[in-house]
């Protein structure tokens, strides 16, 4: 019966896909002003649609058929489910690589959803989607550069390496040298992104909606809504260039105490367009390349602390947040002005790359988000509920929202222990997270549907940063949470100072600040004692 129902579902999906494909082809031919492009779309889009449909139906059928009749909670079911997860993750990976573009972005996002998808998907997507993206041919690169700048790359630059040093979902990067001798990185948009982005988005939206229609518990429509808003901005590299300059300006103006430790490559505006971005070339180690980080004289723990500080400043003080901080977009190098200590150590400088996806947090969202994180750090259950509700989680799902932000169950979230939010990154922690993800799948889906899109992007940013910390430290650190607590609390105090003008109000805020410093000092002392205990135990 289950197999028959799945076959019926596959038939529904195939019929609907055929109708959509036929309609898309007819519409494209009828309305196109570019016959060559129309032919290209009419040959590529149906193939991609069929590929999507077959993959989605194959995965759905595999789950239903393989698990049919196996008792819930049995060892046999767990073993078979693990095997199906692996097969399905590889099918999805293959689909993303074949279609490229928006599908790679989707795969990257799935790789961050530890709280929503099985670990097999997270691991396979995270390992493959960041550094193994499809590469455009050199002829395609030349086509884009000539169209955007009017000449072949050999004439625009004195040197241009035809082999890219990196390829991402939307573009790839080539090393070049300007005629005045400056070494630059040239980011060139993949041609297929321009050609099929709108059609790909429509197809992915159709597949997700169809799967939700067939399997109501599968609801990823919120992700499509977010991509609808963010993808057009990411495809305009001039927006990315402006974002990068605004980011650096914010650190210099609002966070001068760490401005020297955060760097953004300079943009060459005369060699940049909406599909081509020329930037200063920066040597450095990718943030998850721990061996190179050690070799440069840097400490992974200091790097992790700097990453936490930089993004806490962006989220709680700037209100202008880099929302795609995965490992391929974060580099680190020794601070140029620093010298090696006697022990060979140097201070780190964080290099922020790929500024296509930013989000503005309005004053109320920013202060509520800061207040929520302050409450999480200090285990304040009443405040956690208050600010979770204000951010859209609702009276019924605030505890789940806190759990997703911290990746800790509620009893740990409100535990008064100083290290209550620290994740060790071991197998026990991962198993616990997957258990909660499976147990509360429906509630998590409802929460993600309910939250404002800006908060969804904060969740994505949070997930990326957690993955970076895990690469650097095999877990999270208490120092990072202390920094988040400090910066979020400072942001709240600054907000109160702006709103309260009388002397008494100023005195109240000042006393609040003194109390905060005392609490942070207490946590710092507790941290030192924990470190001393570990050292003595070792």
Name the phi and psi angles at 282, rounded to 5: -120, 125
Cα 57 to Cα 87: distance, rounded to the nearest angstrom: 13
Non-local (6+) Cβ contacts of 464 within 8 A are 112, 324, 325, 326
Cα 369 to Cα 377: distance, rounded to the nearest angstrom: 12
302: nearest Cα among 265, 335, 267 = 335
Active site residues: 324
Cα 521 to Cα 534: distance, rounded to the nearest angstrom: 20
CA dihedral for 310, 333, 175, 328, sign (positive or negative):
negative
What are the start-end ranges of the H helices in 286-362?
A: 290-295, 300-313
Buried b (16+ CB within 10 A) or exposed e, 22-31: eebbeebeee
Phi-psi region of 475 (alpha: psi -120 to 50; beta: other; left: phi over 0): left
- 3-class SS of residue 188: strand
CA dihedral for 33, 37, 43, 48, sign (positive or negative):
negative
60: nearest Cα among 13, 107, 21 = 13
Strands 276-280 and 166-167, bridge-based pairing? unpaired
Cα 9 to Cα 56: distance, rounded to the nearest angstrom: 11
Pair of tokens at residue 459: 């969740």
The DSSP line for 126-147 is: HHHHTT------HHHHHHHHHH
Up-side HSE of residue 476: CA atoms within 13 Å toward CB?
Answer: 22
Pair of tokens at residue 434: 């997957």
Cα 217 to Cα 173: distance, rounded to the nearest angstrom: 40
Q: Is 217 exposed, middle or buried, given 0-12, 13-18 or 19+ CB atoms closer than 10 A?
A: exposed
Name the phi and psi angles at 321, rounded to 5: -115, 130
What are the start-end ranges of the H helices in 418-452?
A: 427-439, 441-450
């Amino acid at each position: 019966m289950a197999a028959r129902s799945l076959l019926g579902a596959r038939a529904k999906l195939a019929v609907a896909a055929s109708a959509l494909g036929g309609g898309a082809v007819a519409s494209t031919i009828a309305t196109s002003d570019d016959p060559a492009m129309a032919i290209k779309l009419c040959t590529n889009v149906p193939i991609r649609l069929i590929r999507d449909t077959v993959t989605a139906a194959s995965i759905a059928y595999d789950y239903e058929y393989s698990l049919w009749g196996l008792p819930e909670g049995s060892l046999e079911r767990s073993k078979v489910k693990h095997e199906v997860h692996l097969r399905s993750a590889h099918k999805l990976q293959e689909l993303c690589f074949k279609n490229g573009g928006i599908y790679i972005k989707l795969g990257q996002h799935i790789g961050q959803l530890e709280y929503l998808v099985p670990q097999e998907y997270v691991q396979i997507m995270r390992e493959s989607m960041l550094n193994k993206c499809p590469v455009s041919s050199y002829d395609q690169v030349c086509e884009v550069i000539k169209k955007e700048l009017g000449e072949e790359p050999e004439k625009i630059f004195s040197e241009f390496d035809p082999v890219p040093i990196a390829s991402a979902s939307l573009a790839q990067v080539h090393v070049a040298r300007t005629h005045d001798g400056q070494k630059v990185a040239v980011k060139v948009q993949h041609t297929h992104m321009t050609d099929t982005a709108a059609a790909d988005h429509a197809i992915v939206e159709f597949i997700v909606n169809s799967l939700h229609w067939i399997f109501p518990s599968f609801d990823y429509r919120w992700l499509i809504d977010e991509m609808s808003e963010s993808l057009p901005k990411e495809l305009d590299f001039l927006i990315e260039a402006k974002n990068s300059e605004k980011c650096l300006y914010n650190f210099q103006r609002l966070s001068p105490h760490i401005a020297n430790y955060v760097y953004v490559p300079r943009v060459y505006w005369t060699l940049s367009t909406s599909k081509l971005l020329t930037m200063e070339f920066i040597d450095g180690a990718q943030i998850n390349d721990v061996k190179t980080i050690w070799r440069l004289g840097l400490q992974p723990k200091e790097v992790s602390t700097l990453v936490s500080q930089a993004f806490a400043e962006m989220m709680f003080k700037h209100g202008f947040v880099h929302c795609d901080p995965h490992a391929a977009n974060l580099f680190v190098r020794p601070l140029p002005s620093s010298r090696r200590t006697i022990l060979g150590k140097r201070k780190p400088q964080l290099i922020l790359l790929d500024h296509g996806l930013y989000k503005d947090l309005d004053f109320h969202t920013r202060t509520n988000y800061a207040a929520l994180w302050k409450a999480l750090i200090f285990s304040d259950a009443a405040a956690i509920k208050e600010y979770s509700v204000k951010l859209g989680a609702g009276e019924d799902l605030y505890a789940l929202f806190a759990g997703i932000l911290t990746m800790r169950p509620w009893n740990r979230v409100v535990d008064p222990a100083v290290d209550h939010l620290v994740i060790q990154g071991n197998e026990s922690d991962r198993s616990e997270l997957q258990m909660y993800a499976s147990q509360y799948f429906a509630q998590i889906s409802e929460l993600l549907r309910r939250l404002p899109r800006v908060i969804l992007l904060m969740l994505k940013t949070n997930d990326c940063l957690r993955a970076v910390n895990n690469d650097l430290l095999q877990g999270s650190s208490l120092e990072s949470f202390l920094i988040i607590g400090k910066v979020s609390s400072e942001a709240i105090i600054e907000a109160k100072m702006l709103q309260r003008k009388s002397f008494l109000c100023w005195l109240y805020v000042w006393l609040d600040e003194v109390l905060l410093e005392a609490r942070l000092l207490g946590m710092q002392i507790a941290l030192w004692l924990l470190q001393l205990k570990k050292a003595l135990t070792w």
